[in-house]
Amino acid sequence: MLGLRLLLVSILLFGGLHLFAQDNIPDGWIKSGDAPKAYEVGLDEKVKFRKKKSAYLSSSTSKGFGTLMQTFNARDYLGEKIMLRGFVKAEKVKGWAGLWMRVDSKEGKRVLSFDNMEDRPITGDSDWTAYEIILEVPKNSGNISYGALLHGNGKIWFDELTIEIVDTKTKTTEKVHQRPYNSDFEF
């Protein structure tokens, strides 16, 4: 019994309390990433954009990335361009953060279009800011996944994520090289 008490006291004194933290994952969303256990996700009623709550991702480690995401069927968007728009607030982001969206083929084996804002990352501290991602949804698309991600230390809140069809002449945000790039791996 004394050993158990010492273990509990050690955990409380040396910062292990986060081991007992429970994520408050919003209905319809999933926590994922290459290091999801290193990230906390939840809902916040104090830091919010315009409504009653926002979602957040936070981490005190630089290990991998975490995301709060969802996936839906692409059938209503086939042959269209779509825009993911959302508002993000950042605090002490030492790695980078962003919204992201991916369009997968019907069989789910190929990514048809993708943007995670890595080329225009959210870093440091920022107040609520609108961000957009615009991708093509080819006719052979199966699912669309989207969410927010945090890579490294810090915290982000995000809110009012919407997806809508935009004019097909609208330029996509996906980074596509005009010709082969860094084929000799020297960059």
Mean pLDDT on 16-45? 79
* Rounded average pLDDT over 23-32: 89
In a domain, 2, yes or no: no
Contacts of 125 (CB under 8 A, 6+ apart): 90, 91, 92, 93
If you average pLDDT over every residue of the chain, what do you get?
85
Which range of residues forms the domain containing residue 79? 22-166
Q: What is the mean pLDDT of residues 91-105?
A: 96
In 3-state terms the chain splits into helix, strand, coil percentages (rounded to 5) of 10, 50, 35
> Does the residue 125 lie in any domain?
yes
% of residues, the chain, pLDDT over 90: 67
Which single residue is written with the structure tokens 């009653």?
Answer: 52
**HSE value, Cβ hemisphere, 13 Å, CA-based, for 46:** 0
* Cα angle, residue 174 at apex, residues 151 and 150 outer, rounded to 5°: 10
Q: Is residue 81 part of a domain?
A: yes
DSSP strand E in 74-120: where?
Answer: 80-105, 111-115
How far, in Å, CA of 87 to CA of 162, rounded? 10
pLDDT digits (tens, 9 = 90+) for 103-139: 999 987 899 999 999 999 999 999 999 999 999 999 9
Asked whether residue 185 is assigned to any structural domain, the reply reads no
Quote the pTM value. 0.82
Question: What's the pLDDT at 92?
Answer: 97
Residue 144 lies in a domain: yes
Task: Say if 143 falls within a structural domain.
Answer: yes
Q: 16 lies in a domain?
A: no
CATH at 88: 2.60.120.260
Report if residue 122 sits inside a domain. yes
Number of domain units in the chain: 1
